Amino acid sequence: MSLKVFKNTYNFIIRIFNYEENRYPKICFTRLVSLHLSGNATIELNWASQFNEFLEKINMAYLWNTLDAEAWINDRNLAFERYQRYVKFQDVITSTNQNVMNCRILRSLDSNPAPYLSYRNMFFMSKIIAQIRLSTKHLTRFCIKGEIYRLEQNTLCTLCNLQENETLEHFIFVCPIYSAARNHYLRIPMTIFEQNRSLILQSTDPQILKSVYYFILNSLKIRSFILNE
């Protein structure tokens, strides 16, 4: 989202620079830039100063030295590439230092997007997998066809007598209420990752992802029926 804001704003600035000198948008924006460069701008009221914060992050604040559209066009691809790498780097750092995620998947700056995100013919599966990977130890929520299901991870599971909290791990790998669905859908993945079951949730194999998806789908139906949700 941040990258999209950056690109749209950058292109809008080029568009303003291409206006004739007597156009009000260009007159106003030129004044905003002048106030910014003089140091007399209030950042909350000057969106040239606000956009400058984006440019400073990629060491391209020098672009304000010219109000020529051609110069901004020449550096556009470089600016987009640098900002894309900047926001991706921030995501990688945040993910690496995060300890509250249920699925801690280490990524590098050169990692490609997770393959399941491109499975256009399996949108609902991709959505559930994304919800699993973005869930935290404080909140696990599934949204399926407009219905929302929440796992109360800080309270005991009310469906079994194991006296364990209803965490994502308990729901998928432990709770005996879902043992039939687990044996049907996750038997092979759990055999493959017998030493570390959590790796099932990190897998990019389409068949394993399908198995997880159908297990989640059917287990939530069981849970909803029992709890009369």
Do the domain assignments include residue 74?
yes
- pLDDT score at 229: 64
Q: Indicate whether 137 and 75 sit together in one domain.
A: no
58-72, 82-96, 98-112, 186-200: the lowest-pLDDT one? 98-112
Q: Supply the range of the domain harboring residue 9.
A: 2-85
More confident residue, 58 or 194: 58
- Residues 6+ positions from 66 with CB-CB distance below 8 Å: 72
- pLDDT score at 98: 74
Do the domain assignments include residue 208?
yes
User: How buried is residue 118: exposed, middle or buried, by Cβ count under 10 Å (0-12/13-18/19+)?
Assistant: exposed
DSSP state of 117: G
Average pLDDT of the chain, as a whole number: 89
Residue 114 has pLDDT above 80, yes or no: no
- pLDDT score at 205: 84
- pLDDT score at 74: 95
Do the domain assignments include residue 9?
yes
Structural tokens at position 217: 């789908």
Do the domain assignments include residue 93?
no
Q: What's the CA gap between 28 and 226, in Å, rounded? A: 63
Q: Indicate whether 187 and 123 sit together in one domain.
A: yes
- pLDDT score at 51: 95
Q: What's the CA gap between 48 and 34, in Å, rounded? A: 9
pLDDT digits (tens, 9 = 90+) for 118-154: 776 677 888 888 899 888 888 889 998 888 999 888 8
In 3D space, the residue among 68, 92, 93 whose CA is nearest the CA of residue 14 turns out to be 68
pLDDT digits (tens, 9 = 90+) for 16-44: 999 999 999 999 999 999 999 998 878 88
More confident residue, 91 or 14: 14
**Sequence-ordered strand ranges (E) for the chain:** 140-144, 147-151
Do the domain assignments include residue 200?
yes
Q: What's the CA gap between 91 and 85, in Å, rounded? A: 10
Contacts 24+ apart (CB under 8 A), 213-218: 213/124, 213/125, 213/128, 213/129, 214/185, 215/172, 215/178, 215/181, 215/182, 215/184, 215/185, 215/186, 216/128, 216/132, 216/142, 216/172, 217/128, 217/144, 218/181, 218/185
Do the domain assignments include residue 181?
yes
Do the domain assignments include residue 94?
no
| Mean of pLDDT values over 76-105 | 86
Q: Indicate whether 23 and 75 sit together in one domain.
A: yes
Residue 215 has pLDDT above 80, yes or no: yes
pTM: 0.65
- pLDDT score at 194: 86
- pLDDT score at 179: 94
Q: Are 124 and 114 in contact (CB under 8 A)?
A: no
Please count the structural domains in the chain. 2
